[in-house]
Amino acid sequence: MRYIDSIIAGFGGQGVMLIGNLLAYAGMKDGLNVTYIPVYGPEMRGGTANCTVVLSQEDIGSPIIHRPKSLIAMNRPSLDKFQTRVEDGGVHIINSSLIDMELADTDRLKCYGVPCNEIADKLGNTRMANMVAIGAFVQATGIISLDAVIGSLENVISARYHKLIPANTEAIKAGAKHVS
């Protein structure tokens, strides 16, 4: 059975809500049931912002995640807040551009250090670090296809920014390649 639940977290402005939404759309495109819950509030003003996404072949009983099977941590406060909650053996994508990999719980989790900011910089736009992270996540988990993620970009990027879809596609592929 295909199932994964995830917390995606980072500083407000790092695009964690965008990639959570992208993951949800891609899950629907891949024929899965989906829940997506963004957490808005004072966290967005410099603290940790986060969202939860559940993808499942079966009906989803609850969108609330206490012990997620996976985590994308884009910054240190997010790692500190959520790493201990991830289920043993869970997949953890860590933005190693901003987080020291020595802090990763590699004894308990499948940790992938991905220098999201550096990869995005090499592609020409640091703001695509989130797309690098989602590419790495999809490759590491295998829950959905990269094609579904790339095909869902037009659903989450507003029409006036559709010209950025090719660059975001490259960032997703670069993230996937990093964990291959």
Per residue in 113-149, pLDDT (tens digit) is: 999 999 999 999 999 999 999 999 999 999 999 999 9
Structure tokens at 98: 């901003």
Confidence of residue 12 (pLDDT cuts 50, 70, 90): confident
Q: Residue 60, Cα to own-chain centre: how many angstroms?
A: 20
And the tokens for 162?
């559709």
27-78 pLDDT per residue, tens: 999 999 999 999 865 555 566 799 999 999 999 998 889 999 999 999 999 9
Sign of the C-alpha dihedral computed for residues 118, 124, 127 and 131 taken in this order: negative
Question: What SS3 state is found at 170?
Answer: helix
User: Residue 123 corresponds to which amino acid?
Assistant: L
Q: What is the mean pLDDT of residues 143-167?
A: 96
Radius of gyration, alpha carbons of the chain: 15
Q: Exposure of 164 by Cβ count < 10 A (0-12 exposed, 13-18 middle, 19+ buried)?
A: middle
CA dihedral for 61, 24, 149, 121, sign (positive or negative): negative
Q: Does 9 have pLDDT greater than 60?
A: yes
Res 118: pLDDT: 98
Distance of alpha carbon 13 from alpha carbon 75, whole angstroms: 12
Q: Which of 158, 145, 153 is nearest to 169 (CA)?
A: 153
Contact between 75 and 14 under an 8 Å Cβ cutoff? The reply is yes
One-letter amino acid at 180 equals S
Closest to 180 (Cα-Cα) out of 149, 141, 130, 122 = 141
